[in-house]
Amino acid sequence: MSVLKSIIKLDARVAGYEGEPVRIMAITLPDSGKIQIAKLADWREPVTPQDDVVVITDTPQITEHWSMAFYEREDIKDLLRTYLECKRSGLIKINDGLRMYDPDQVMQTAKVDERGQVMEFDSNVTNGHLAVLLAVWGARKAYGGYVTTDRAEADIDDDSALSGYANDNDFDAMMPFSVGG
C-alpha cells in the first residue's frame, strides 16, 4: 500500500470549552503512527462524509456525520494517556501556526501515585487545546482500527480522493493542506 492510500485525515471539532468553537485538521499515517496537526478550518462548515476522514467532536448532538464522539466523563483519562504516549514517542508534530493550541501549555502533573501520573488542565484550557487532543486521540483510534461509523460508503475515484497529497515518508511531506489557507 502506498503512502498516499494510507493517509487518514482528521477533522477535530470542539465547542464545549473556553472560547470560540475550533476546528483543527490533522493527518496521520497509520503505518508509522505519525500525526501532523495541520491547520485551522471553519467550524461551521458542514461535515461531508468521506471514507478517508475521521470526524471527532465533543458536540455529537449538533455535529452531523461524526465518526467519534468525545464524552469527557468517560474519555478524558484515555484522551490524556493517548496524548502523553504519542508525545513521548515523538509521533506528534504541531505546525507553527497552531502552537498556541499546544496542550503542553495547559496540562500539568497533579500527582504521581501507585496508578501512575495524574494529569490535570489549568484554567487556560480552550477549545483549541481540546481540538488538538481530540485529533491525536482520533488518530490513535484510527491507527488501531477502532473507528466505526454508520455512514454510507462514498463512491469516489481513488485518484481524485488523493489528489494534492505528499508521496513520500518525510514527516513534513505528508501534509496535504497549506497552512495559510
Check pLDDT > 60 for residue 148. Answer: no
Using the structure block, give the residue that is written with the C-alpha cell 496508578.
115
Backbone angles phi, psi at 25, to 5 degrees: -100, 135
Q: Flag whether 121 is in a domain.
A: yes
Q: How would residue 4 be classed by pLDDT, with cut points 50, 70 and 90? A: low
Q: Flag whether 157 is in a domain.
A: no
Whole-structure pTM value? 0.76
Q: Give the model's pLDDT for residue 145.
A: 61
pLDDT mean across residues, the chain: 80
Q: Flag whether 60 is in a domain.
A: yes
**Between 112 and 164, whose confidence is greater?**
112
- Report the range out of 67-71, 153-157, 177-181 with the highest average pLDDT: 67-71
E strands present in the chain: 8-14, 22-29, 34-41, 53-57, 68-69, 92-94, 107-113, 116-121
Cell readout for 18 is 473556553
Q: Give the model's pLDDT for residue 62.
A: 93
- N- to C-terminal Cα separation, the chain: 29
CATH code assigned at 49: 3.30.420
| Interatomic CA distance for residues 134 and 140, integer angstroms | 10
3-state SS of 60-107 is CCCCCCCCEECCHHHHHHHHHHHHHHHHHCCCEEECHHHHHHCHHHCE
Mean pLDDT within 113-140: 88
Q: Flag whether 35 is in a domain.
A: yes
Q: Give the model's pLDDT for residue 119.
A: 73
**Between 47 and 118, whose confidence is greater?**
47
Sequence-ordered list of residues with C-beta below 8 angstroms from that of 28, at least 6 positions apart, any chain? 7, 8, 10, 34, 35, 36, 139, 142, 143
Q: Flag whether 148 is in a domain.
A: yes
Cell readout for 105 is 501549555
**Between 120 and 124, whose confidence is greater?**
124
Q: Flag whether 175 is in a domain.
A: no
pLDDT tens digits, 70-91: 999 999 989 999 999 999 999 9
When divided into structural domains, the chain yields a total of 1
Q: Flag whether 11 is in a domain.
A: yes
Q: At residue 16, what is the residue type?
A: G
User: Residue 64 is part of which domain span?
Assistant: 3-152
What percentage of the chain carries pLDDT values higher than 70?
A: 77
| Interatomic CA distance for residues 93 and 87, integer angstroms | 9
Q: Flag whether 93 is in a domain.
A: yes
Q: How would residue 172 be classed by pLDDT, with cut points 50, 70 and 90? A: low
Mean pLDDT within 1-26: 87
